[in-house]
Amino acid sequence: MHAVRDGITDNHGIAPPVGEILDVDGWSGHHVAAGHVAAWYARLGLGRFGRQVLTVASGAAAGQIALLLASPVLTRLYDPDHFGALAAWVSIIAVLGGASTLRYHLAVVLPDANEDAHRVLAVCFAVVFLVAGALAAALPWIGAPILDLVQAPTLRPLLWLLPLTIAAIGLSVSLTTLASRVAAFGRLGVARASEGAGKAVAQIALGVAGLGGAGLVIGDTIARALGTAVLGVTMWRNGVRAALRSRRADMRDMARRYVDFARFGTASQLLNSAGLQAPALLFAGTYGLEVAGILALGQRVVVTPMVFVGQAASQVYLGTGARLAREDPWGLRRMFVKTSLRLLVLGLLPTLVLVAFGPFLFGVVFGPQWPEAGHYARILAPAFLIQFVVSPLSQTLNIVERQRWQLAWDAMRLAIIAGAIVGSATLQWEPREAVAAYSGAAAFAYLVHHVMGWLAIRSLCQAAPESDGD
């Protein structure tokens, strides 16, 4: 057991004091300001979890606002089929990027000692470069068939970006988990802000330069590389440098210790990414890039604000939840319930606005060819709300090392979502009807995952004495 001070582990340097967390995680000269921020948080009545989520979310807000503000400009620089091609590209890199660490990055938060965590991080780095290298070698044979499968042959000149993007994704998720472990939530916010703002600027600049759909893809790659670089630099002294000094023998020991993440987690993540990206890929393959592009804009605009709050909650939950799973399973249970209710309340208002005014708002903001994206967003609103509640807590099965449960759920979700979309196309349903079928399938799948997370925590609690409270 570690000694705990203000709810943050005090031994082995696993997490810094509260002042350091609120000090944008170690930037010099801000300790007085950190005290003012802490007092402000206290006046708001936020708990520790809420304060940490707000730290990440507020840091990332600038980048997300930049993306939202850029959207009306981008919809006038790019056509729906350009957004469809981008959606296909993002789907491809998301599926491949899910295997870029063989899921070892999730194990960074688990060891008691920081030295072991740094060795796991070194394993992640090594795996990322091996995967990216193997992908680069295989591109001449697999690149064109992948693009043909998603009906995006125009992306063929950009295939050389694929290994670079996969490497950036793998390094980013590894560094993000390290930041969650040491509660460096402010640094995560800085990286997310850099990535969001960089994407907005790059995609607008490349659109003005007349690159067409390629501008969206190149801008996305630039932004991912920028966010990864910023996070790597800011985390250099908090584990990156130590990881790069790890011995091979120690790395092999850690790789064997957490091999279940690679054995079951990689297949699970590939299925998970495929389930997340299946809508874009399947709508592009069955209804064409224009419909896929309209759907992509609707998801981009609606999901972006939800995602940056949800990701903030997820990053805090991963670090804090891993500690509670070791030390206080009943505390993890209370955290799971309270966070679920708070996210539900937070997501209700934007969902209702979307249902009531979605098509009108999309037409006014993005131009006369985009109201259909508002109709799609309205249909998907209930599924968006459920996903907003469940996704931040979806790390529960990894925290309690139930990778087999996660694998089963990922396979189930992919099957029902793919079945809904392909079945709709087979029955020759209209695009809106297909979107409705997808929305229902996604909502059901996420509800099932939430129940599984609850059952996993309940099983953990049955083996531990009940604690007295928070």
Structural domain count of the chain = 1
Which residue segment(s) compose the domain that 146 sits in? 4-462
Which residue type, as a one-letter code, is found at position 165?
T
Phi, psi of 83, rounded to the nearest 5 degrees: -65, -35
Residues of the chain with pLDDT under 50: 1-46, 470
Residue 40 amino acid letter: W
Residue 166 lies in a domain: yes
- Determine, yes or no, domain membership for 468: no
Q: Which helix (H) or strand (E) holds 94?
A: helix 80-97
CA nearest neighbour of 173 among 61, 93, 68: 93
Please give the DSSP secondary-structure letter assigned to residue 395. T
Q: What pLDDT was estimated at residue 315?
A: 65
> What is the per-residue pLDDT for 127?
94
Residues with Cβ < 8 Å from 453, sequence gap 6 or more?
336, 393, 394, 396, 397
At position 402, the amino acid (one-letter code) is R
Q: How far is CA 393 from CA 331, 361, 434, in A?
A: 14, 31, 28
DSSP structure class, residue 95: H
pLDDT at residue number 58: 54
DSSP 5: E
The amino acid that residue 278 corresponds to is A
How many residues comprise the chain?
470
CA pair distance 324, 146, nearest whole angstrom? 42
Non-local (6+) Cβ contacts of 241 within 8 A are none
- 146-168: b (≥16 Cβ within 10 Å) or e: bbeebbbebbeebbebbbebbbb
DSSP string, 202-263: HHHHHHHTT-THHHHHHHHHHHHHHHHHHHHHHTGGGTHHHHHT--HHHHHHHHHHTHHIII
Torsion of CA 317, 318, 321, 325, to 10 degrees: 160
Whether 177 is covered by a domain: the verdict is yes
Task: Fill in the DSSP letter of residue 468.
Answer: S
pLDDT tens, 177-202? Answer: 888 788 777 787 788 888 888 898 99
Look up residue 247 and give its amino acid.
R
Residue 467 lies in a domain: no
Q: What was the pLDDT predicted at 35?
A: 42
Judge whether 410 lies within some domain: yes
Our measurement of the distance from residue 183's CA atom to the centroid of its chain's CA atoms, rounded to an integer in Å, reads 17
| H runs (alpha helix) in 288-370 | 289-327, 329-366
Alpha-carbon 428 to chain mean position: 33
Closest CA to 336 of 325, 348, 350: 325
Its pTM stands at 0.62
In a domain, residue 209? The reply is yes
Domain membership flag for residue 169: yes
> What is the Cα–Cα distance from 403 to 392, expressed in whole angstroms?
17
Residues 420, 441: contact at Cβ < 8 Å? Answer: yes
Hey, which residues does 9 pair with through a beta bridge? 4
Predicted local confidence at residue 446, as pLDDT: 92
Give the integer Cα–Cα distance in Å for 210 and 231: 31
- Looking at this protein, which amino acid is placed at residue 125? F
Indicate the residue type of 53: V
Contact (CB, 8 A) for 421 and 438? yes
Q: Half-sphere exposure of residue 430, counting CA atoms within 13 Å on the CB side? A: 5
- Could you tell me the CA-to-CA distances from 253 to 63, 117, 120, 174 in Å, in that order? 39, 12, 9, 18
CA distance 300 to 307: 10
Residue 369 lies in a domain: yes
